[in-house]
């Protein structure tokens, strides 16, 4: 039985609240360990520790901070297998998928090697008579990241790396469902040379989140999770004068045009719809075939592929996907399938009764496939976050793009077509933050930014890329003139150039 406390000041410390929650192993339903849930006092103590350590770290030049991140990446590579196994056992995704989770996080750390370039300000010589103007980017101080269960390596790394590259100290509050990887990442950061106190991991629940939002020494908060919680964190954090960046739910559509390569489109839907058991904010959960002929052909090809999906334990590298994260979440997804049937959607493949031989207590669902889903149905409107794909037929291209634009979420979308004009038009007109053209999961590479629109994103700046460095710094602008014999006398007019 593993007992997770917190990681504060460069070392593991036990929880003192007396409150714990179970950490499950989804593939067999067993309890893997317990994690302490911090009190406000424990969170505040971590902030004091970070606040004390941050000024010295900010004084380290950006190139040397980047060298610590380089060593951090080396250590993650060294311990990649161990990290992936912990991740798979606590989350439920397969080990190959867990390694992908880690790698996409590492790519953002690698992007942050460019901190010396990304933190450069601007300089104008001779902006006026003897006057120079320059700007500088400076760290905010202590910042916080609140991260979800579905990517326990990737999203913490998206928060940690740019924050500390910019010279901040970070308080990370990971999901209490799978805390093992974030705790190990904190250990590796210290081994890489990060000073104690610059990265602190505080495990907890809503009490810890509220303590983060209310602590005046935390200057910025980044969050990824569901939309209702994103709205709550954004509102409360902003009301307390913090810089806040929140990313919420999604309902990602893939439009399949009549001229699409159908084999390619089906492959894309199977991987993007059912990978990680659908527990991805970028999962394609709605297929939108344009025209009845396209829809009939798509559905005919999808049915046998969904029926043949291989569900297995997290340790089975040949499985297409593993269990869901908890029994409660599995039951919630089942409830969505029940609602789809009750509301009149046609359930072509039913994964509700799947049982894994030898793992009967695991949190498994098979793949499910709906057809004739309409925009007023619960399975269309809400984020299911499970291995369920909905086919919502569109009579024409205009109807398809309207369907996407009218949805409350605007995280990611894709279009499959051979027509460059249609693809270009779709990318320009669709009201969504990330677009794939013949590409099913349009997560940008680390040097571009990641973020959704509408109720999928709250705040002005996105994750990773240059936006991350803007989010974790503040800009100071200096107007400078040195004495040179100029005698202007007193002026009561606003200065102009």
> How do residues 159-202 score in pLDDT, each as one tens digit?
999 999 999 999 999 999 999 999 999 999 999 999 999 999 99
Give mean pLDDT, residues 437-441: 93
This prediction has a pTM of 0.95
| Residue 17, pLDDT above cutoff 80 | yes
Tell me the CA distances in angstroms from 451 to 19, 31, 62, 174, 444, one per residue in order: 34, 34, 26, 20, 9
Query: What pLDDT is attached to residue 494?
Result: 78
Give mean pLDDT, residues 317-336: 97
pLDDT level of residue 422 (50, 70, 90 thresholds): very high
pLDDT level of residue 30 (50, 70, 90 thresholds): very high
Query: What pLDDT is attached to residue 486?
Result: 64
Instruction: Count other C-beta atoms under 10 Å from residue 280's C-beta.
Output: 23
Angle (nearest 5°) at CA 328 between 371 and 308: 40
| Residue 497, pLDDT above cutoff 80 | no
CB 91 within 8 A of CB 183: no
Query: What pLDDT is attached to residue 145?
Result: 98
CB 63 within 8 A of CB 165: no
| Residue 481, pLDDT above cutoff 70 | yes
Q: At what angle do helices 62-78 and 180-191 cross, to 10 degrees?
A: 130
Query: What pLDDT is attached to residue 178?
Result: 97
Q: Considering the chain, what percentage of its residues have pLDDT values greater than 70?
A: 99
| Residue 488, pLDDT above cutoff 80 | no
Catalytic residues: 281
Query: What pLDDT is attached to residue 318?
Result: 95
Query: What pLDDT is attached to residue 490?
Result: 75
Q: What is the pLDDT of residues 235-257, one digit of tens each?
A: 999 999 999 999 999 999 999 99
- In b/e form, how buried is each residue of 150-161, taking b as 16+ CB within 10 angstroms? bbbbbbbbbbbb
| Residue 120, pLDDT above cutoff 90 | yes
Q: What is the pLDDT of residues 122-131, one digit of tens each?
A: 999 988 888 8
For the chain, list the domains and their CATH numbers.
2-248+456-478 (3.40.605.10), 252-437 (3.40.309.10)
Query: What pLDDT is attached to residue 130?
Result: 85
| Residue 289, pLDDT above cutoff 90 | yes
CB 153 within 8 A of CB 97: no
pLDDT level of residue 359 (50, 70, 90 thresholds): very high
Rounded Cα gap, residues 371 and 379, in angstroms: 11
Give mean pLDDT, residues 67-71: 98
């Amino acid at each position: 039985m593993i007992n997770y406390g917190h990681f504060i000041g460069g070392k593991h410390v036990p929880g003192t609240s007396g409150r714990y929650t179970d950490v499950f192993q989804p593939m067999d339903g067993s309890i893997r360990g317990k994690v302490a849930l911090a009190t406000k006092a424990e969170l505040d103590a971590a902030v004091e520790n970070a606040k004390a350590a941050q000024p010295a770290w900010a004084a380290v030049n950006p190139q040397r901070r980047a060298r610590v991140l380089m060593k951090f990446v080396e250590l993650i590579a060294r311990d990649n297998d161990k990290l992936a196994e912990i991740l798979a056992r606590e989350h439920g995704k397969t080990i190959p998928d867990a390694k992908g989770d880690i790698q996409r996080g590492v790519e953002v750390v690698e992007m942050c090697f460019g901190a010396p370039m990304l933190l450069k300000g601007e300089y104008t010589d001779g902006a006026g008579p003897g006057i120079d103007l320059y700007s500088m980017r400076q760290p905010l101080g202590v910042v916080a990241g609140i991260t979800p269960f579905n990517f326990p390596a990737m999203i913490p790394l998206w928060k940690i790396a740019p924050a500390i590259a910019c010279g901040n100290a970070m308080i990370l509050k990971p999901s209490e469902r799978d805390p093992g990887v974030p705790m190990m990442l904190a250990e590796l950061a210290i081994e890489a040379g990060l000073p104690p106190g610059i990265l602190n991991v505080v495990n907890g629940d809503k009490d810890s989140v509220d303590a983060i939002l209310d602590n005046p020494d935390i200057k910025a908060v980044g969050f990824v999770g569901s939309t209702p919680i994103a709205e709550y964190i954004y509102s409360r954090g902003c009301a307390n004068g913090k810089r806040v960046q929140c990313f919420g739910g999604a309902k990602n559509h893939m439009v399949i045009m009549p001229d699409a390569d159908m084999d390619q489109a089906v492959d894309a839907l199977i991987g993007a719809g059912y990978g990680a058991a659908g527990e991805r904010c970028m999962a394609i959960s709605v297929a939108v075939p344009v025209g009845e002929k396209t829809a009939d052909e798509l559905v005919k090809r999808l049915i046998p592929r969904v029926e043949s999906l291989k569900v297995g334990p997290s340790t089975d590298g040949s499985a297409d996907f593993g269990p869901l994260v908890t029994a409660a979440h599995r039951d919630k997804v089942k409830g969505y399938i029940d609602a789809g049937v009750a509301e009149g959607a046609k359930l072509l493949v039913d994964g509700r009764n799947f049982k894994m031989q030898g793992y009967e207590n695991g949190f498994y669902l098979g793949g499910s496939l709906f057809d004739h889903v309409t925009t007023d149905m619960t399975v269309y409107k809400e984020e299911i976050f499970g291995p369920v794909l909905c086919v919502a037929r569109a009579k024409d291209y205009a109807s398809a793009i309207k369907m996407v634009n009218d949805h409350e979420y605007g995280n990611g979308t894709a279009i499959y077509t051979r027509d460059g004009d249609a693809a270009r038009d779709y990318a320009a007109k669709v009201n969504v933050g990330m677009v794939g053209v013949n590409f099913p999961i349009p997560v940008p590479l680390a040097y571009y930014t990641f973020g959704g629109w509408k109720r999928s994103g709250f705040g002005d700046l996105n994750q990773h890329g240059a936006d991350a460095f803007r989010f974790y710094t503040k800009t100071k602008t200096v107007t400078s003139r040195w004495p040179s014999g100029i005698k202007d006398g007193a002026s009561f007019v606003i200065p102009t150039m």
